[in-house]
Amino acid sequence: MSQTIEQVEMQDPGVQGWRTQKLWGVLTLVSMAVLMYMALVWAPEDSVQGAPQRIFYIHVPSAWIAFLAFFVVFVCSIAVLVTGDRKWDDRAVSSAEVGVVFTTAVLISGPLWAKPIWGVYWSWDPRLTSSFILWLIYLSYLALRSYVPDPARRARFSAVLGIVGFVDVPIIYFSVRWWRALHPGYVIQPGKVDMPGSMVLTLMVGLLAFTFLYLFLLGLRLQNQRLQNANERKGLE
């Protein structure tokens, strides 16, 4: 027997309402449209890098969301172990998947920018390399989940990896940074923003738009997860 989303939603009071979901969707659409206008038309062309610099408005927000998403995995993973409640596992895996998507965006947009600017697609730059290693860790997180059929065990195992993976982030960053000396070409360095105000503003809008997109995707993925859980339960009964 097939069920509509509404029916499942009524059965499970934990399901986030479609109304909130619609709100994130609309906010995402509007802010993305504004971002595209600002990034492609309004923001001035970079005097040194030219048009490729505009990738920056997609690349940096993607990296920010990837990091945020994995931080959410980390927090939810601790909650899984402490409370043993499966809803935290649903949140952790949803955020992990969205995080992997955004990390992929970072790994694609980074080389696209690097080719015209650095002359090579890939350089073992600390940030790019750290993103790459993070991508591998959270792919292994998703792989691990697919190999553990029992839901309770899957939640605990992936929570352990979710914690270990995130604790590893700063260690990875510093190890890679020491491994290869810093590359030239940083636009923003800690404590020193070397950009005109319009570029900074465009970046800020980008961060906001991507945060809405993250919340929208996370909500969708979470609902998907709850439907999967409902199906699993029906299969068991």
Partner 1 sequence: MSMLAPAMLIARKDLKVEARTKDVLTSVGLFGLLVVVAASFSFPTTGEGRQGVAAGMLWMAFLFAALLGLGRSFALEKEEGCMEGLMASPAPREPIFLGKLFANLIFTGLAEIAIIPISIMLLQLEPGNGIWLLLGVTALGTLGLLTVGSLFAAMAVNTRTREAILPILVIPVAIPLLIASVKATEVALLGKGIGDAMQWILLLAFYTGTFLFVALFTFPYVLEE
Which residues of this chain interact with partner 1, rule CB under 8 A?
Answer: 81, 133, 136-137, 140, 143-144, 147-149, 153, 156-157, 159-161, 163-165, 167-168, 171-172, 174-176, 178-179
What does each C-alpha distance from 232 to 48, 141, 172, 189 come to in angstroms? 55, 21, 37, 48
User: What is the separation, in whole angstroms, between the first and last Cα of the chain?
Assistant: 14
Identify which of residues 58 and 161 has a Cβ nearer to partner 1 in the complex: 161
Q: Which of 73, 49, 31, 90 is nearest to 209 (CA)?
A: 31
Identify which of residues 49 and 175 has a Cβ nearer to partner 1 in the complex: 175
CB of 62 to partner 1, least distance (A): 20
**Cα–Cα distance measured from residue 158 to residue 26, given in angstroms and rounded to the nearest whole number:** 33
CB of 179 to partner 1, least distance (A): 5
Identify which of residues 73 and 213 has a Cβ nearer to partner 1 in the complex: 73
Identify which of residues 5 and 164 has a Cβ nearer to partner 1 in the complex: 164
CB of 203 to partner 1, least distance (A): 29
CB of 79 to partner 1, least distance (A): 12
**Cα–Cα distance measured from residue 105 to residue 63, given in angstroms and rounded to the nearest whole number:** 8
Residues 47/195, Cβ–Cβ less than 8 Å: no
